[in-house]
Structure 1
Amino acid sequence: MFDREYEWSALSRYVADTGAGATLGVVSGRRRQGKSFLLESLCEAAGGFYFAATEATERESLRRLGEEVGAFLRSPHPITYPDWETAIDSLLSLGSEGPTPVVIDEFPYLCRATPALPSIVQRAFGPRRSARHESRTRLLLCGSAVSFMGSLLAGSAPLRGRASLDLTVAPFDYRTAARFWGADDERLAVQLHAVVGGTPAYRREFVRDDAPTGIADFDSWLTRTVLDPASPLFKEARYLLAEEPDLRDRALYYSVLAAIAEGNTTRGRIASYIGRAADTLSHPLTMLEDVGFIVRVPDAFHPARTTFRIAEPVVTFYHAIMRPEWGRLERPGAAATVWADNRSRFRSLVLGPHFEHLARSWVSHHCAATTLGARPTWVRPGVLNEPKTRSSMEIDVVAVRADGEQRKRLLALGEAKWGTELELGHLDRLTTALELAAARGFDAAQARLMLFSGAGFTAPLIERATADDRVELIDLTRLYSGV
């Protein structure tokens, strides 16, 4: 197990609760994050019962569950369940002797065949049910259908208020992902994360620990893994979309994702790209957001305006690089040529925006409070209007502390460039942006000016930063190990 201390600790505390009565927990997260591994390990360590559901009819699922409960109890007689009410009560009885984890993995599969199952679980956990009070089963429902699992405990859902654990297993952040892949070279780490993100399974199961040996091996690694038709990673982005049952009009969702991957991040530009009216995109954008494929990002200076970002790097890489070249890539031996033809697209459409995202992540999660003067309430991109020239200025990093006061405190403005050596002109641009932000009502008196670069900084800029404590230069080393 790698760097899942928080999740393991939360699960261990939940299972070790010696209080009377059965309890309910929910574990969710996108596929390939290691949820099943965590829960199987938990059951092995605590002597619990683990059941992995499959896509099947209600009768088949009940039969399989009875067989596996029988094997768990070493029952000399077969166990059969006529219905889910009986099955859930039986699972609760597994904790009659003490706290016992009981896991139902891929719970959405069961609900697809039995839509009333959440209500059945709710009744089993009713305040007057003897089965619940006589048990100390620690029931855990797990699933990868993000929108469905998120709805289990929301609003007026049957299980609302019943759960004592709601755990999300998220991808590794970019620093943890670098350690997981053994990427000591920061340039390699950024490029790897831009392709496969922080999903653990992509190293272990999908490429069987075939990691790049160094930055010089990155191109070769891509052609023998992600771009190789024989690799499981080759069609992974397609499968991720296909595994979401709520996304029925796949062609539309593919086109929306392709539009965003091509740099069309506003509703209007997405609509123009796919040939639809902007007011028809509310549903597909909301659905993609609900299932965790895209993230809606409010503009730092105009909260009513939003842009959209693809949440999973492998999906961005697929739509920006692979999908336009799919016919060529399917031919054996074409990967190296296709990659050579698309390196510039990778830099502009994938690496550049991804580096900006890493810069915001660094400010949000790794930058010391002493550097900023306070912890930011939020960090977003933003657009400032320049009245004199009637032009707009895009700012990659805007860190704000909002404590409820009318005048928000601006902690930092930042610019991030992956392949450009930053110079004094970039700093002057941020200085102008700072003046514009102050004119919009932000308290900018103590704001820092942050310059992020994957290619370094000119000597005059370094000299200016040394003399001005408002200016912060963040290179790759600081991005990955500094504060």
Structure 2
Amino acid sequence: MRLPRPADMFDRTWEWAQLTRFVSDTEPGASLGVVSGRRRQGKTFLLEALCEATGGFYYSATETMPSREALRQLGDAVGRHVGSPGKIRFAHWEEAIDALLSLGADRPMPVVLDEFPYMVHGAPELPSLIQRALSPRRRERVESRARILLCGSSISFMGNLLMGSAPLRGRASLELIVPTFDYRAAREFWGLDDLRLAALVYLIVGGTPAYKSEFLRGAAPARREDFDGWVIEHVLSPASPLFREVRALLAEDPTLTNTGLYHTVLAAVAEGNCTRGAIASRIERKATDISHHLTVLADAGLLSVEPDAFRQNRSAYRITEPLVRFYHSVMRPVYAQLEQVRPGRTERLWQAAQPRFRSAVAGPVFEHMCRTWAHSMAADETLGGMAVQVLSGVVHDPSSRANHEVDLVSMDADGNILAIGEAKWGDTMGMAHLERMEQIAAVLRAKGREPNAITLFSGAGFMPALRAAADGSGGRIQLVDLERLYHGE
């Protein structure tokens, strides 16, 4: 059975289909699903809507709750659900879990435990108890059709629930990660028709839906001319929830302790230090001293680790959330001044930050948008094949002993290079950009890895000579402007 998607739900069609398929399964026996994703992505909205549509049970744990009090609150929630408010009390977690299983005695029933990491913090034995409760031949499981959904925003914690020797490994029949919106979905969500304005907004707040629906209550710049004022009022103002959001993101993740050092690592990456050695050098630590912090930030979904397309054993770290990059590049260096509001000061600080914004925020985030396009939106004919991986890399030219950075390297399933590309947010691209890419293509040709196409991306457009060269290239030179980035393939 497919449940109709709620009218007030934007996108999330695929995620809704997976959830409704899971909870509508009529087979006997309780089943387990795990839902995760970074905070503010709409997981709770999805699960609450699911329970409303099916008459399911929803419970959200609260932070730092002693086990006894958590049992009392869960009992109250179950009591309200079955029409006996204040009458259900659980003596221990085994009893509580069996009561949740019993909710599915008559029909398939979603049973949602949201903020599950908070529950485990107060009762570390919970995963093992759930494992035992879901033993294949246990009567309480066999006679139940409860569809238990554990949800949490700590990606590392939720992922580890099902990994290695974890108690719940092999028990879940659904593992759903709710992602951020890509830049195309974000434009539609914000309702922005001006593509450059849509890109500017994405460069700062990315595709996190709660920033619009909850934090800003729909406030969006109506025109490109309003963008600076919108940033000043809704991002750089201490009165705005976005002002302290990045600090809250780290503070709310239970896997991140000593958040000061994690912020320092993120700041080093935001400055352009992308390798482990460069990050360690920037913060004056040994590379071995920050290995754990890099791993934790990657597990938390705040950093991505991407291999170099051309050099083995070399990886680049990138900040995944635009607002985190914006905070560390633009806000953190002047945070004290922004907190002390004075007439005209924020405007001056924002204007002074424009070079940092263009180089440390706009450039890297635009490159990410272009890699997303090449991976998920470009036609096979554009790249000369299906791109299954789009990376960046450094090409070494033995003849000149020079290293050439390549923003985009599109590769097929066999590792063959389909296309190489360059992305510039603020530059009108011309023949010089093409000549640089042709030089790199020649180096790759000599190594037996010649690309099918050269892709040039610009947020500012292309010079006539370059457009003419692309028109006469038979498709080998592909130019991607904002119109094509948002609407084309």
TM interval, short-chain normalised: over 0.9
Are 1:426 and 2:433 counterparts? yes
For residues 31 and 247 of structure 1, the distance between their equivalents in structure 2, rounded to whole angstroms, comes to 14
Q: Which residue of 2 aligns with 1:472?
A: 478
Q: Which residue of 1 aligns with 2:16?
A: 8
The share of aligned pairs that are identical, in percent, is: 53
Q: Which residue of 1 aligns with 2:30?
A: 22
Unpaired runs of at least 5, structure 1 = none
Are 1:318 and 2:327 counterparts? yes
For residues 336 and 231 of structure 1, the distance between their equivalents in structure 2, rounded to whole angstroms, comes to 16
Please state how far the C-alpha of 1:389 moved relative to its aligned partner: 2.0
For residues 76 and 231 of structure 2, the distance between their equivalents in structure 1, rounded to whole angstroms, comes to 44
Query: What letter matches 2:360 in structure 1?
Result: L
Q: Which residue of 2 aligns with 1:49?
A: 57
Please state how far the C-alpha of 1:194 moved relative to its aligned partner: 1.2
Unpaired runs of at least 5, structure 2 = 1-8
Indicate if the aligned counterparts of 2:155 and 2:299 stay in contact, CA closer than 8 A. Answer: yes
- CA shift in 2, pair 1:77/1:270, >3 Å: closer
Are 1:120 and 2:125 counterparts? no
Indicate if the aligned counterparts of 2:128 and 2:168 stay in contact, CA closer than 8 A. Answer: yes
Please state how far the C-alpha of 1:77 moved relative to its aligned partner: 6.4
Indicate if the aligned counterparts of 2:454 and 2:478 stay in contact, CA closer than 8 A. Answer: yes
Please state how far the C-alpha of 1:303 moved relative to its aligned partner: 3.1
Q: Which residue of 2 aligns with 1:102?
A: 111
Query: What letter matches 2:463 in structure 1?
Result: T
Query: What letter matches 2:454 in structure 1?
Result: L
- CA shift in 2, pair 1:384/1:77, >3 Å: closer
Are 1:337 and 2:343 counterparts? no
For residues 357 and 37 of structure 1, the distance between their equivalents in structure 2, rounded to whole angstroms, comes to 27
For residues 43 and 473 of structure 1, the distance between their equivalents in structure 2, rounded to whole angstroms, comes to 47
Query: What letter matches 2:481 in structure 1?
Result: D
For residues 154 and 303 of structure 1, the distance between their equivalents in structure 2, rounded to whole angstroms, comes to 27
Q: Which residue of 1 aligns with 2:247?
A: 238
Please state how far the C-alpha of 1:465 moved relative to its aligned partner: 0.6
For residues 50 and 413 of structure 2, the distance between their equivalents in structure 1, rounded to whole angstroms, comes to 40
Query: What letter matches 2:263 in structure 1?
Result: Y
Q: Which residue of 2 aligns with 1:165?
A: 174
Q: Secondary structure at the match of 1:90?
A: helix
User: How far does the alpha carbon of each residue in 1:127-165 deviate from its partner, in whole angstroms, 9 at most, with x for none?
Assistant: 121000001011100000111001011111101111111
Are 1:37 and 2:48 counterparts? no
For residues 166 and 345 of structure 1, the distance between their equivalents in structure 2, rounded to whole angstroms, comes to 39
Q: Secondary structure at the match of 2:237?
A: coil
- CA shift in 2, pair 1:77/1:169, >3 Å: closer
**TM-score by structure 2 length?**
0.96
Query: What letter matches 2:464 in structure 1?
Result: A
Indicate if the aligned counterparts of 2:430 and 2:465 stay in contact, CA closer than 8 A. Answer: yes
Q: Secondary structure at the match of 1:82?
A: coil
Q: Which residue of 1 aligns with 2:458?
A: 453
Query: What letter matches 2:256 in structure 1?
Result: L
For residues 77 and 186 of structure 1, the distance between their equivalents in structure 2, rounded to whole angstroms, comes to 54
Stretch moving more, 325-334 or 21-30: 325-334
Are 1:346 and 2:357 counterparts? yes
Q: Which residue of 1 aligns with 2:3?
A: none
User: How far does the alpha carbon of each residue in 1:36-58 deviate from its partner, in whole angstroms, 9 at most, with x for none?
Assistant: 01100100100101001012010
Stretch moving more, 336-345 or 168-177: 336-345
For residues 277 and 379 of structure 1, the distance between their equivalents in structure 2, rounded to whole angstroms, comes to 30
Q: Which residue, out of 416, 419, 422, partners 1:409?
A: 416
Are 1:84 and 2:96 counterparts? no
User: How far does the alpha carbon of each residue in 1:413-441 deviate from its partner, in whole angstroms, 9 at most, with x for none?
Assistant: 10111111111111111111112223334
Q: Which residue of 2 aligns with 1:482?
A: 488
Q: Which residue of 2 aligns with 1:292?
A: 301
Q: Secondary structure at the match of 1:348?
A: helix
Indicate if the aligned counterparts of 2:76 and 2:85 stay in contact, CA closer than 8 A. Answer: no
For residues 45 and 471 of structure 2, the distance between their equivalents in structure 1, rounded to whole angstroms, comes to 48
Q: Which residue of 2 aligns with 1:381?
A: 392
**TM-score by structure 1 length?**
0.97
Q: Which residue, out of 173, 192, 202, partners 2:201?
A: 192
For residues 208 and 332 of structure 1, the distance between their equivalents in structure 2, rounded to whole angstroms, comes to 23
Stretch moving more, 320-329 or 365-374: 365-374
Q: Which residue of 2 aligns with 1:370?
A: 381
For residues 279 and 39 of structure 1, the distance between their equivalents in structure 2, rounded to whole angstroms, comes to 41
Indicate if the aligned counterparts of 2:391 and 2:409 stay in contact, CA closer than 8 A. Answer: yes
Q: Which residue, out of 428, 446, 469, partners 1:439?
A: 446
Please state how far the C-alpha of 1:244 moved relative to its aligned partner: 1.4
- CA shift in 2, pair 1:409/1:345, >3 Å: same
Query: What letter matches 1:15 in structure 2?
Result: V
For residues 61 and 441 of structure 1, the distance between their equivalents in structure 2, rounded to whole angstroms, comes to 63
For residues 157 and 148 of structure 1, the distance between their equivalents in structure 2, rounded to whole angstroms, comes to 11
Indicate if the aligned counterparts of 2:304 and 2:317 stay in contact, CA closer than 8 A. Answer: yes
Please state how far the C-alpha of 1:472 moved relative to its aligned partner: 0.4
Indicate if the aligned counterparts of 2:80 and 2:86 stay in contact, CA closer than 8 A. Answer: no
Cα-Cα RMSD: 1.1
Please state how far the C-alpha of 1:76 moved relative to its aligned partner: 6.7
Indicate if the aligned counterparts of 2:370 and 2:423 stay in contact, CA closer than 8 A. Answer: yes
For residues 148 and 337 of structure 2, the distance between their equivalents in structure 1, rounded to whole angstroms, comes to 49
Q: Secondary structure at the match of 1:205?
A: helix
Please state how far the C-alpha of 1:355 moved relative to its aligned partner: 1.0
For residues 479 and 278 of structure 1, the distance between their equivalents in structure 2, rounded to whole angstroms, comes to 38
For residues 336 and 54 of structure 1, the distance between their equivalents in structure 2, rounded to whole angstroms, comes to 39
User: How far does the alpha carbon of each residue in 1:82-104 deviate from its partner, in whole angstroms, 9 at most, with x for none?
Assistant: 11110000000001110011100
For residues 40 and 279 of structure 1, the distance between their equivalents in structure 2, rounded to whole angstroms, comes to 43
For residues 465 and 471 of structure 1, the distance between their equivalents in structure 2, rounded to whole angstroms, comes to 5
Please state how far the C-alpha of 1:271 moved relative to its aligned partner: 1.2
User: How far does the alpha carbon of each residue in 1:312-333 deviate from its partner, in whole angstroms, 9 at most, with x for none?
Assistant: 1111000000000011100124
Please state how far the C-alpha of 1:75 moved relative to its aligned partner: 1.9
Q: Which residue of 2 aligns with 1:154?
A: 163
Q: Secondary structure at the match of 1:296?
A: strand
